[in-house]
Amino acid sequence: MDDLNAETVTQAALQQMAATPDPRLRQVMASLVRHLHDFAREVTLTPEEWLTAIRFLTEVGHCCSPVRQEFILLSDVLGLSALVNAQHVADAAPGGTEASLLGPFFRADAPLLEAGAQIARDPGAPELLLHGRVTDTAGQPIAGARIDVWQTSATGLYDLQVADAAMDLRGAFQTDAEGRFHFRTVQPLGYQIPMDGPVGRLARAQGRHGYRPAHIHFLIGAPGYQELVTALYFAEDPHIDSDMVFGVARALVVSPVARDPAAPIQGMASLRYDFALAPAAGHGSQRVGADPASLQPA
Ligand SMILES: [Fe+2]
């Protein structure tokens, strides 16, 4: 046998994995090993740095709980979640509304509410009406689509981030026969990603502000259509051009209007947005991220 060195070890590792029966696992792992080895050679990774990285990843794992997913956060701040989302959606949902990140604060068990309901238990700020339609890519209404919404409060916290984590600032709605929906909420506040863990420490070491611009998350599904995971971002937010997790797209930037005579509830600012769902194409879920509780080890 030949002695391995910093160059030949790559080929040796690839050879040992070459008989992997699952072709996709074989392809993904071979590429991962090639890039990891190239990376270590490019930066001349030292044993101390490698150990620092192992400690960091261990800490990221320990930081995960039923209500916090530090690995998703790490993927988000590296731009990997946005990249996976972008390349998946480009071919999975042509003509549909642009997708955005699911993020770590989705809860699968949000209550189904009546049209027009207020999703904040205690609004504590001026109400904001959201309304619009869900259609197919030809503009035909989709009746009975389920719309899950979730957002931060006017002080920038999700319900999962307050002491009792009781369900708040989220809910599910169903479109009517014309594909219409409407609900009341409050203007969300932009927020810093959780900065008290290893990912936040890394962000500070990189001199990054850590903020996401104010937004409202949407997950919209109907039988026969590709599930849409997206968010609407508020144009006036100071971090609209420097989202910490790269989720903003121009088509998803919105501004409420003070008065809209066509809005289904009057007397408050409102925001109209129409969503288009692409036909189901068998591409599986486009959820980048998940209910944190669903990622807990058994
Ligand atoms: Fe969010």
Instruction: Determine the distance separating the centroid of ligand 1 and the alpha carbon of 93, expressed in angstroms.
Output: 22
Q: In whole angstroms, what is the distance from residue 266 CA to residue 194 CA? A: 36
CA–centroid distance, 133 to ligand 1, in Å, is: 22
Assess contact for 100 and 247: CB atoms under 8 A. Answer: yes
CA of 35 to the centre of ligand 1 (A): 31
Q: Domain locations in the chain?
A: 1-45, 70-292
pLDDT at 102: 86
Q: How far is the CA of 105 from the centre of ligand 1 (A)?
A: 7
What the block records as the tokens of 117 is 């309901």
The Å distance, Cα 216 to ligand 1 centre, comes to: 7
Helices (H), 143-278: 198-205
Q: How far is the C-alpha of 35 from the C-alpha of 164, rounded, in Å?
A: 43
In angstroms, what is the span from residue 212 Cα to ligand 1's centroid?
A: 7
* Cα 253 to ligand 1 centre (Å): 14
CATH of 70-292, one of 3.30.2180.10, 2.60.130.10, 1.10.3860.10, 2.60.40.150: 2.60.130.10
Give pLDDT tens digits along the chain (298 positions). 778 999 999 999 999 999 999 999 999 999 999 999 999 999 999 999 999 999 999 999 999 988 788 998 999 999 999 998 888 776 666 788 998 988 878 888 899 999 999 999 988 889 999 999 999 999 999 999 999 999 999 888 999 888 787 899 999 999 999 999 999 999 999 999 999 999 999 999 999 999 999 999 999 999 999 899 999 999 999 999 999 999 999 999 999 999 999 999 999 999 999 999 999 876 556 565 555 556 555 4
Alpha carbon of 217 to ligand 1 centroid (Å): 6
Centre of ligand 1 to C-alpha 40, Å, is 33
Neighbours of ion ligand 1 (CB under 5 A): 103
> What are the residues whose beta carbons fall under 8 Å from the beta carbon of 181, sequence distance 6 or more?
115, 131, 132, 133, 134, 145, 147, 173, 174, 175
What pLDDT score was predicted for residue 298?
45
Exposure string over 233-271, b if 16+ CB within 10 A, otherwise e: bbeebebbeebbbbbbbeebbbebeeebeebeeeebbbb
Q: How far is the CA of 258 from the centre of ligand 1 (A)?
A: 24
Q: Give 107 Cα–ligand 1 centroid separation in angstroms.
A: 12
